[in-house]
Structures are given as C-alpha cells and as structure tokens.
C-alpha cells in the first residue's frame, strides 16, 4: 500500500545588508551597527524560526548578480507552501526608468554594492516563484525598493508576496538619524520571538513604535493569501 506523505513546508531566507560607511562609527543606540548588522539580526530571526537555509549577502558580496542569483535559486527550489524571506537593509532611492509606454517613471531602488536593483528587477525576480509560495519582503531603506509599485506594467506574480517597507515612497527611512530604525522597530515588535499575533497585527505593532513622519508600508504584490496573513510572522 502506498502512503502519500505531504512534505512539510521549507523556509529559505536571503538577508542583504549594505553599509557604505564605517559600521563601527554608525553604531546605534541598541548596540547594533549599520545595515549589515540589521541583515544579520533578521537572518537570526529566520534561523531561530527554523528556516532550512539562510543566506547573508553583506557589503561587497551584495552585488547585483549575486542577489539575483540567490533569488533565482530560491525560486527554483521553492514549492507551493514554502516560505521565502527576502530582506534588504541599506540605502534606497528612486531611479527614473522607462515605463511600458516609453515614458519615464520613477522606480524604487535598493542600493547594492555595485549599483541599483530597481523595482522592475525585483519584481521580475519574484515572478519566478511558483503559485502558493509565500514570499515575505522586508525592505529597510529610504523611499525605494518597493516591489510592486510598477507592477501594472510588469509580469504578473504567481506567488503571494507580502511586503513590509520602512516608510512610504516619499519618505526617508532614517528620519531620526539612526540607521536601521525600522529594523529596530521590527525586532522590538518581535520581542525575541514572543510576538504571537498575525502579520497585520505585527505591522500595527511596528507602526506604534515609529515616529509619525516615517510610516512603514504593508501591502501585497501578487495574489493575497489570507492564510499566510493570519500566520504568526516568520512561520515556516
């Protein structure tokens, strides 16, 4: 007699941190230092939550080709039900790019070590994930790197992508002068793994820890997944 056993979901994480300046001098009030430390902290959350594989790309290793390759690899290996966590900590910006009708449109951008990784590129990379894969993006940077902002002109996403951003597209992520303020708020909301609510409640808790001039974003790209949203954050 054959038994069909469903494979348990697998968690994969890619945490990117690019601090162009001396991280020691940028040590913030929590004793952590710069964007690379933020990436390490989020990778630590993933590891603690049982992700099977967590990849860190820091500083000079966080180049455009390596980031794209790691996302592609995760897309290839992820199956329905799996979770992929993608985080970016560093500079963000906006680049004028050519839209579908040939006109110039502003795209958010993650400032990687060797250049920008813009929204359409992030979106294209995420479009390779299969249906019912859960993707969580945490983007801790100024007004950029918000995959989906230009989605109407791009490939449809099959996977459900939940995006948490450090601020709105017209805001700066460093408004109080401390690097990684958003990641700090995320970690404070997470309370060393004791947070027990849903993603929406998680976002509300993060919001409560932020100043009024920096409002973190929360939205879906691709098909929303109510079961995903109802889960405890970082649940594989």
Instruction: Give the residues lining the site for another protein (CB under 8 A).
Output: 20-22, 25-26, 91, 93-98, 104, 111-116, 142, 172-179, 211, 213-214
Residue 44's CB is within 10 A of a number of other CB atoms, namely: 14
Burial of 188 (0-12, 13-18, 19+ CB in 10 A): middle
Q: Least distance (Å) from another protein to the CB of residue 198? A: 30
> Residue 73 or 114: which CB sits closer to another protein?
114
Handedness of CA 109, 111, 113, 115 (dihedral sign): positive
The DSSP result for 34-73, as a single string, is: HHHHHHHHHHHHHHHTT-SEEEEEEGGG--HHHHHHHHHH
For residue 75, how far is the Cα from the chain centroid? 15
CB nearer another protein, residue 40 or residue 95:
95
Q: How far is the CB of 194 from another protein (least distance, A)?
A: 30
- Cα 234 from Cα 134, distance rounded (Å): 10
Decide whether 115 or 193 has the Cβ nearer to another protein: 115
- Residue 222 Rama label (left phi>0; alpha psi -120 to 50; beta): left
Q: Which is nearer to another protein, 97 or 231 (CB)?
A: 97
Nearer to another protein, 28 or 78 (CB): 28
Pair type for strands 217-221 and 160-165: antiparallel
Secondary structure class of 122 (helix, strand, coil): helix
Minimal distance in Å, beta carbon 179 to another protein?
Answer: 6
- Residue closer to another protein, measured from CB, 141 or 189: 141
CB of 175 to another protein, least distance (A): 4
Nearest distance, CB of residue 39 and another protein, angstroms: 16
Distance in Å, CB of 29 to another protein, minimum: 10
């Amino acid at each position: 007699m054959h038994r069909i056993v469903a494979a348990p979901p697998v968690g994969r994480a890619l945490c990117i941190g690019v601090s162009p300046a001396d991280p020691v001098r940028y040590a913030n009030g929590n004793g952590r230092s710069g964007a690379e430390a933020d990436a390490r902290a989020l990778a630590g959350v993933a590891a603690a939550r049982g992700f099977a594989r967590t990849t860190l790309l820091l500083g000079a290793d966080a180049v455009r080709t390596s980031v794209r390759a790691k996302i592609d690899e995760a897309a290839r290996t992820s199956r329905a039900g799996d979770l992929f966590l993608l985080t970016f900590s560093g500079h963000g910006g906006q680049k004028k790019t050519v839209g579908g009708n040939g006109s110039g449109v502003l795209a958010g951008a993650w400032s990687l070590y060797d250049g920008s990784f813009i929204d359409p590129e992030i979106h294209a990379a995420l479009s390779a994930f299969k249906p019912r894969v859960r993707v969580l993006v945490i983007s801790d940077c100024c007004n950029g790197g918000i995959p989906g902002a230009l989605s109407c002109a791009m490939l449809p996403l099959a996977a459900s992508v939940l995006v948490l951003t450090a601020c709105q597209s017209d805001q700066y992520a460093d408004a109080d002068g401390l690097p990684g303020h958003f990641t700090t708020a995320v970690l404070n909301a997470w309370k060393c793994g004791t947070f027990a609510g849903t993603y929406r409640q998680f976002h509300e808790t993060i919001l409560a820890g932020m100043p009024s001039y920096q409002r973190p974003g929360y939205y879906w790209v691709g098909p929303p997944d109510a079961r995903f949203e109802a889960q405890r954050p970082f649940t594989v």
